Amino acid sequence: MLILGIDTSCDDTAAAVVADGVKILSNIISSQTDFHRKYGGIVPEIASRKHIELIIRVIDEALSKAEVTFDDLDAVAVTNRPGLVGSLLVGVAAAKSIAYCYNLPLLGIHHIEGHIYANFLEHDDIPFPHVCLTVSGGHTLLVYVKEGWQYELLGSTQDDAAGEAYDKVSQYLDLGFPGGPIIDRLAQAGKNVVDLPRPMLNSGDYNFSFSGLKTAVRYFVEQNRKTGSLPVVEDIVASFQKAVVDILVQKTLFAAQSKNVSAVTLTGGVAANSELRQALSEAGEQRNIKVYFPSRVLCTDNAAMIAGIAYHKYQAGERAGLDLNAMASAVLDGI
């Protein structure tokens, strides 16, 4: 069964063709980063306008790379929630038009459910139930994932998402946008020399807080700039990243052990982080908990994950009507 997936929830215009929920025939992602870079963050108005310019070309490319036409498709699935509403609307309008013109079933997918599914595109031995850590620019969530795509929210960030903290710290240090991949690279040459807080590390629950850590970096940089005693940037970002990774790893394993699961999955943009992938794998190994993460291209926003989960939703009988709408915020069942 061939599903065309579309994701325009934030600043990436993405379309993919996936067979039977697992075989990626194409996965096209057109990044708008260059247009947002000079603003130091995503400008929603620019994002939606760029999606309009790019969406048809990206869908065409996804079909031609997969060597299929609209007539070969069995369904079309689109992220309709949550996200930037202007961005989401472009993908939803495109998917609805295709569904109408080609008489195809339509599915509206929750973006986070797509991220949670990303690991299933590459691993066929993930047991249920398991714990999933979703860490992106907009979310930091610990989710208990049960058989039949049932979810229970264990905890989430009380303020900034981990990716947001990466992007802000990068901005304070004039390193560029998006901050995650830049800090990831620089931190590899740095040492953990700055004493930074690890908010909520021992809060006894599964919630997170990154705002205080981000602000601590900012104060540290401002004060030490004045006195001329600022360590090299590699050491500052290595210290910041160590704090983020300590928090994410400790909380995730605490959740996994409390829920007595044998597996943990990692997903979302920050899941591309080298230190996080390594530290979580090592900590999991020590506790006999298997850690799964996807290839980097499936960590960040993509449409293969949307087409993938849509296959299971289709099999379960889910369909959306042509009144499908975009929603800026939305709960996932159980989340």
CB contact set of 51 (below 8 Å; sequence gap of 6+):
8, 13, 87, 90, 91
Q: Which does residue 190 touch among Zn ion, ligand KG4, none (CB within 5 to 8 A, set by kind)? A: none
DSSP 104-171: --EEEEEHHHHHHHGGGGT-S---SSEEEEEE-SS-EEEEEEETTTEEEEEEEBSS--HHHHHHHHHH
Strands across the sheet with 23-31, in order? 23-31, 12-19, 2-7, 75-81, 106-110
Select 29 or 66, whichever has its Cβ closest to ligand KG4: 29
Q: Is 272 in the site for ligand KG4 (CB under 6 A)?
A: yes
Q: Which does residue 300 touch among ligand KG4, Zn ion, none (CB within 5 to 8 A, set by kind)? A: ligand KG4
Q: Is 160 in the site for ligand KG4 (CB under 6 A)?
A: no
Compute the distance between CA of residue 28 and CA of residue 170 in angstroms, rounded to an integer. 27
Q: Is 268 in the site for ligand KG4 (CB under 6 A)?
A: yes
Stretch that binds ligand KG4, among 45-53, 66-74, 213-221, 265-273 (CB under 6 A): 265-273
Q: Which does residue 179 touch among ligand KG4, Zn ion, none (CB within 5 to 8 A, set by kind)? A: ligand KG4
Minimum Å gap between C-beta 163 and ligand KG4 is 3
Q: Which of 167, 237, 263, 309 touches ligand KG4 (CB under 6 A)?
A: 167
Compute the distance between CA of residue 109 and CA of residue 135 in angstroms, rounded to an integer. 18
Q: Is 273 in the site for ligand KG4 (CB under 6 A)?
A: yes
Q: Which of 144, 151, 166, 292 touches ligand KG4 (CB under 6 A)?
A: 166
Q: Is 48 in the site for Zn ion (CB under 5 A)?
A: no
Site for Zn ion in 184-223 (CB under 5 A): none
Number of H helices, E strands in the chain: 11, 10
Dihedral Cα 151, 166, 118, 302, nearest 10 deg: 120
Minimum Å gap between C-beta 277 and ligand KG4 is 9
Q: Which of 32, 48, 136, 239 touches Zn ion (CB under 5 A)?
A: 136
**In the 8-state DSSP scheme, what is residue 271?**
G
What residue ranges bind ligand KG4 (CB under 6 A)?
10, 136-138, 163, 166-167, 178-181, 184, 268-270, 272-273, 300-301
